Amino acid sequence: MDISTLLMECSLVAMMLYAAYGVIYRLYLSPIAHFPGRKLAALTFWYEFYFDVIKRGSYVWEIQKMHETYGPIVRINPYELHVADADFIDRLYPTVAKNVEKWSWSAGMFGSTAMTFGTVGHTLHRRRRAAFSNFFSTTSVRRLQPVIQSRIDVLCERLSEKMDTGEPVNMVHAYSALTQDVITEYCFSNCRNVLEMKDFSPWYYELVQKPSELSHMIKQFPHMLTILNLLPDWWVRATNPLFSKLRAQQLEYVSQVQSILSYHDETGTKSHSTVFHSLRDDDGLPLSEKSLPRLVMEAQSLVGAGTLTSTHMLSMTTYHVLMNPPILSKLMAQLEQALPDASTPCSLQKLEQIPYLSAVINEGLRISYGSIHRLQRVHPDNALTFRNWTIPPGTPVGMSSLHMHNDPAIFPEPRRFDPSRWMGPEKEMRQRHLFNFGRGTRQCVGMNLAQAEFHMTLATIFRKFGTKMQLYDTVRERDVDVKHDFFVTNPSLDSRGLFLKNPSTFTLSLVEGSTVFSNSIMHAAPTGALTLSGIVIGDVYAHQISKQLLEQGREIKRLLLLDSPRP
């Protein structure tokens, strides 16, 4: 046997021994080997990979099945435990400043641990969060209420136009435009004005939604982004338009932050102070924390976090209210009482005191989950006790809102949207089980802003358009229910969004050359306002139709004459 063959055989044996040791260690010697769960999950990350990457964000439902089989604490991968018992929340996520960390393996799932959201260590996290948390306090949010209101007013104008023409509106895009405009104004004093763009620019929604789809892959293969970033622009442009737009957006953030860091962008700050100007001017923050790459990551994370979660909550709540006419009527009655004049904005403080609006928001939060991904914490210094179990120090442990919000013992008939569960004496107890914003020292920093957006947007939209809005081509299973965990919740990938339309308008597409359309319209159009759009041959027909309709006492909202060559 020659030396190279001998070396190869020795390497092979060494590798096999190493793999065998790995198997034995993970299954029998690991400090969490005695916790219940599937052996395959304990043995390899490929189990999680299969559910989260191949089956697109579905491990959380597999974890739920594990709990049904093995009980409230399970081992879900070689290193991590998962708990389904709300009584454990306060121990896992303490609110007092204790040394609690994020798990480095998953903290970088959005491409970096440089932003506050992804920070692993406790002390660094406290410093980063303290630098901007004031901006999101109740007082700051109340002070900046006009910023939010001005964007809601634009949304209403746009909705009004679309409602008048009877054009269906994709509310996912509309709410995404609203929340994105608010957070960009808040952060940079440079509103993105997506609300003004055609159809609320679906691209801007994709640009925050798609990276969340990639998060599981990045968690499993953290170097994937570095490799993707090395690809030349021309190649990316030719093969993947979305990734190319993501790059362009990244450059937008770079120039935005750069101009603030170099004092070239001071105009906006006259109207209100902003997150990034204040980070720049914070003397307590070391220079390393003010570097361009770190602040760009922070900007990206704030805009993403401030857009997607609120969008999903607003969309799902809108769907469920409109699907339940008694809930809609009750909400509208309370809003009419509190806001007798629909055109005058109401203070946030007053909106927060409308009991049924708050109940609808709580139920919307419950049914939309926030993030259903498990929020892992590591307690490096001390063991945690869960019932009869002792969790060794340093073990990543997570919990998910999916299990808490669907617990029938706390929320009977969890699939039912029922705001009345928030009106009785059990409200306090149920509130403790709401986990949308996480808990403890890493709880969502933007929750006051999010709550302000929910109160102001839902109150305004339902007060102004309540009965004018009807769901259109929207199916709960496909477009509303959460089907994927991309850290942020996501409906089925087949969904095109949540569509609304004014039921009293009727849009008819007319075929060029049609000579019988006036009679068809008479048959087809429901009572109420009528909008015609399409190609009409000659004004003469349009006039005939309008005349006939007016004679019948029907209201014509708008008659669109698109391309009308005379015969």
Which residues sit in the known binding site for heme?
A: 444
Q: In terms of CB distance, is 294 or 468 closer to ligand HEM?
A: 294
User: Would you give the binding string for ligand HEM spanning residues 226-255, x where CB under 6 A is met?
Assistant: ------------------------------
Nearest distance, CB of residue 457 and ligand HEM, angstroms: 12
Question: Taking CB under 6 A as the rule, does residue 310 contact ligand HEM?
Answer: yes
- In the list 129, 247, 290, 554, the residue contacting ligand HEM (rule: CB under 6 A) is 129
Nearest distance, CB of residue 297 and ligand HEM, angstroms: 11
Question: Taking CB under 6 A as the rule, does residue 116 contact ligand HEM?
Answer: yes
Nearest distance, CB of residue 460 and ligand HEM, angstroms: 18
Radius of gyration of the chain (CA): 27
Question: Taking CB under 6 A as the rule, does residue 537 contact ligand HEM?
Answer: no
Nearest distance, CB of residue 428 and ligand HEM, angstroms: 20
Bridge partners of residue 510, in order along the sequence: 534
- In the list 112, 180, 318, 436, the residue contacting ligand HEM (rule: CB under 6 A) is 436
Strand pairing report for 169-170 and 384-386 = unpaired
Q: In terms of CB distance, is 345 or 370 closer to ligand HEM?
A: 370
Question: Taking CB under 6 A as the rule, does residue 126 contact ligand HEM?
Answer: no
Q: What whole-number distance in Å separates Cα of residue 421 and Cα of residue 30?
A: 44
Question: Taking CB under 6 A as the rule, does residue 111 contact ligand HEM?
Answer: no
* 273 phi/psi in degrees, rounded to 5: -75, 155
> By CB under 6 A, what part of segment 339-378 binds ligand HEM?
370-371, 375
DSSP state at residue 562: B
- In the list 309, 358, 362, 460, the residue contacting ligand HEM (rule: CB under 6 A) is 309
- Matching residue, tokens 């909008």: 531
3-state percent breakdown (helix, strand, coil) of the chain, nearest 5: 60, 10, 35
CB-facing half-sphere around the CA of 133: CA atoms within 13 A: 13
> Which residue's Cβ has the minimum distance to ligand HEM?
446
Q: For ligand HEM, which stretch binds (CB under 6 A), given 213-221, 263-271, 423-431, 437-445?
A: 437-445
Nearest distance, CB of residue 467 and ligand HEM, angstroms: 26
Q: What whole-number distance in Å separates Cα of residue 21 and Cα of residue 533?
A: 71
Question: Taking CB under 6 A as the rule, does residue 306 contact ligand HEM?
Answer: yes
Token pair belonging to 272: 């209100």
CA 23 remoteness from chain centre: 38
Question: Taking CB under 6 A as the rule, does residue 313 contact ligand HEM?
Answer: yes
Q: What whole-number distance in Å separates Cα of residue 461 and Cα of residue 458?
A: 5
Q: What whole-number distance in Å separates Cα of residue 16 and Cα of residue 344?
A: 74
| Residues 538-553 as b or e (16 or more Cβ within 10 Å = b) | eeebbeebbeebeeee
- In the list 117, 175, 204, 276, the residue contacting ligand HEM (rule: CB under 6 A) is 117
Nearest distance, CB of residue 417 and ligand HEM, angstroms: 17
> By CB under 6 A, what part of segment 154-213 binds ligand HEM?
183
Nearest distance, CB of residue 13 and ligand HEM, angstroms: 43
Token pair belonging to 72: 């409230």
Identify the CA nearest to 320 among candidates 512, 222, 460, 462.
Answer: 462
Token pair belonging to 41: 């999950």
Question: Taking CB under 6 A as the rule, does residue 53 contact ligand HEM?
Answer: no
Nearest distance, CB of residue 449 and ligand HEM, angstroms: 5
Token pair belonging to 440: 């403890």
Q: For ligand HEM, which stretch binds (CB under 6 A), given 78-86, 384-392, 432-440, 551-559?
A: 432-440
Number of residues that bind ligand HEM (CB under 6 A): 23
Question: Taking CB under 6 A as the rule, does residue 305 contact ligand HEM?
Answer: yes
Give the CA dihedral 411, 412, 414, 416, nearest 10 degrees: -120
Strand pairing report for 530-534 and 507-510 = parallel
Nearest distance, CB of residue 181 and ligand HEM, angstroms: 12
Residues annotated within a binding site? 444
H or E stretch covering 170: strand 169-170
Question: How big is the CA angle at 412 (ends 409 and 418), to the nearest 5 degrees?
Answer: 145
* 212 phi/psi in degrees, rounded to 5: -70, -30
Q: In terms of CB distance, is 445 or 510 closer to ligand HEM?
A: 445
Question: Please, are residues 39 and 27 in contact by the beta-carbon 8 Å criterion?
Answer: yes
> By CB under 6 A, what part of segment 6-45 binds ligand HEM?
none
Q: What whole-number distance in Å separates Cα of residue 154 and Cα of residue 120?
A: 39
> By CB under 6 A, what part of segment 442-481 binds ligand HEM?
442, 444-446, 449-450
Which residues in this chain contact ligand HEM in the complex, by CB under 6 A? 116-117, 129, 136, 183, 302, 305-306, 309-310, 313, 370-371, 375, 436-438, 442, 444-446, 449-450
